[in-house]
Amino acid sequence: MTLFCSATCPYSHRARMVISEKAIAADVEYVDPSRPPEDLLELNPYGTIPTLVDRELVLHDSRIIMEYLDERFPHPPLHPMDPVARARARMLVHRIDQDWYSLLEEIESSGEKSTLRARKLLRESLIAATPAFEAKPFFLSEEFSLVDCAIAPLLWRLASLGIDLPRQSDVIRHYASRLFERPAFQASLSEYERELPVTFEALSA
C-alpha cells in the first residue's frame, strides 16, 4: 500500500493521520502536487493528491481514502457502527469541508482582499462552533473518529493562516490539545508541518 501525498496539503495530512491511528504499514511518498511524477499520473490521470494505491485499487479523494482505510483495517474503529450515527458523521465531514476547508483554500490561493474576507469568515465560523467542540470529549462524539481526523489538520494550520481565536474559545484550544498530543497525530506530521507555527500557545494547558 502506498499513499502519494503532499507535505503541505491538509487533505494529505488527514489521510496520513488515519494511517498513523491504524498503525498501517503503508509507504508514504511525498510528491510535488504542481509536478506530479509520471508513475502517479499513470495511476491517477488527474494527478491529484492524496492518492492511495492498494494492489489494483486506486483512490484519490481524501474522504474516500479515510473511509476505505477504516473499513480495510477495522481496529480501532474510527467510524460509528450504527448506520444513522455513521451517516451523521459523514455529513459532519462534508460540512467541515464545505464550511471550513473551502475557506482555507480561499485563504491559501486568493488575492489579499479575498484572503482577508475568508480569514474573517473562518475565524467567526470556528468561534460560532464553540458549543460543538465543548459538548463531548471529541467533536460531537465520546470517541475519537474520522471527524476529528478531518478537523485536526485545519486547527494545526490556523496560525500559519493568520487566524487567532479569542479566550472565550479556549474550549477549542483544549480540544486541539487532545488531538495534537496523540502519538498518531505527531507521527502523521511531515517535516514541513512540524515547523508550522501553532495558534495554541500551551497545548497541554
Q: Which residues are catalytic?
A: 9
For the record, the C-alpha cell of 47 comes out as 494527478
For the record, the C-alpha cell of 151 comes out as 478537523
- For every residue of the chain, DSSP letters joined together read -EEEE-SS-HHHHHHHHHHHHHT---EEEE--TTS--HHHHHH-TT--SSEEEETTEEE--HHHHHHHHHHHS-SS--S-SSHHHHHHHHHHHHHHIIIIIHHHHHHHHS-HHHHHHHHHHHHHHHHHTHHHHHHSSBTTBSS--HHHHHHHHHHHTTGGGT----GGGHHHHHHHHHHHTSHHHHHH--HHHHTS--S-S-TT-
